[in-house]
Amino acid sequence: MDISRIFTISESNHRIHNPFTEDKYATLGAALRLEPGTRVLDLGSGSGEMLCTWARDHGISGIGIDMSPLFTEQARRRAGELGVADRVEFIHGDAAGYIAEEKVGVAACIGATWIGGGVGGSIDLLARSLCVGGIILIGEPFWLRLPPTEEIAKGCGAQSVSDFLVLPDRVASFGDLGYDVVEMVLADRDGWDRYEAAKWLTMRRWLDANPGDEFAREVRSLLRSEPVRHVTYTREYLGWGVFALLAR
């Protein structure tokens, strides 16, 4: 079981696989006023940076599930580096339908809401693992401004303009689902650059090391087009944030 190979190549050097940076995860961890010992579930945990740093800084314990064997291995290694391997566990697997055996105080899906079939479905899935009074975290893109054409939405990596909402509608949507939005930390353009631009050097280094690989043509073509695509579309039109929700 694995994710598409392009991510395994282009994001192999990322600790965070979305436009958040280390300081944004630190801000979010502090904003949530996490008590030591809080159990945190993370569906689509990537390379584990959120759980590992929160275990180090706030004494939480955590379980992360991710479909990528590479990212899961990196997460376990990071837990060891930060001295929190006894408190965070990383499971390689499909998180669709995953429900924690023991209820958690925080249940998160950060930049992977397709796991629950969209934002609403992911909230429902996370809620099934949550203690009464627990917090749900959703990390999701939104439109900074509505793309005037479908072509621009596609340039941002969306299938269609309707894939995402503008921020006021995104925030209102959580209320419509019966949740209070109790905290919010948004990514910025520098964060988008860290996520997107960091792929370029990784791809270039991979190409230099693997010129004969059957995937090299595809990576070469992406490296040619991605920098201009990013500054033309994603950087201009797409926002991203993590929203903390409490059931009303």
Based on the shown chain and the rule CB under 6 A, indicate whether residue 186 belongs to the binding site for ligand SAH: no
Residue 11 C-beta: closest distance to ligand SAH, Å: 8
143: β partners: 166, 238
The answer to whether 238 and 144 are in contact (CB under 8 A) is yes
Query: In angstroms, rounded to a whole number, what is the distance separating the alpha carbons of residues 179 and 193?
Result: 31
Cβ of residue 114: shortest distance to ligand SAH, in angstroms?
Answer: 7
Quick check: 111 binds ligand SAH (CB under 6 A)? yes
Q: Please check whether residue 181 is in contact with residue 195, taking contact to mean a CB–CB distance below 8 angstroms.
A: no
**Is residue 112 a contact residue for ligand SAH (CB under 6 A)?**
yes
Residue 242 bridge partners (DSSP): 139, 185
CA distance 27 to 183: 11
Binding-residue total with ligand SAH (CB under 6 A): 21
3, 111 Cβ separation under 8 angstroms:
no
Q: Which stretch binds ligand SAH (CB under 6 A): 29-37, 42-50, 120-128, 233-241?
A: 42-50
Tell me: does residue 129 bind ligand SAH (CB under 6 A). Answer: no
Stretch that binds ligand SAH, among 14-22, 83-91, 158-166, 181-189 (CB under 6 A): 14-22
Site for ligand SAH in 65-104 (CB under 6 A): 65-68, 71, 94-96
What's the rounded Cα separation, in Å, for the pair 141 and 67? 21
Residues binding ligand SAH (CB under 6 A)? 3, 16-18, 44-46, 49-50, 65-68, 71, 94-96, 110-112, 115
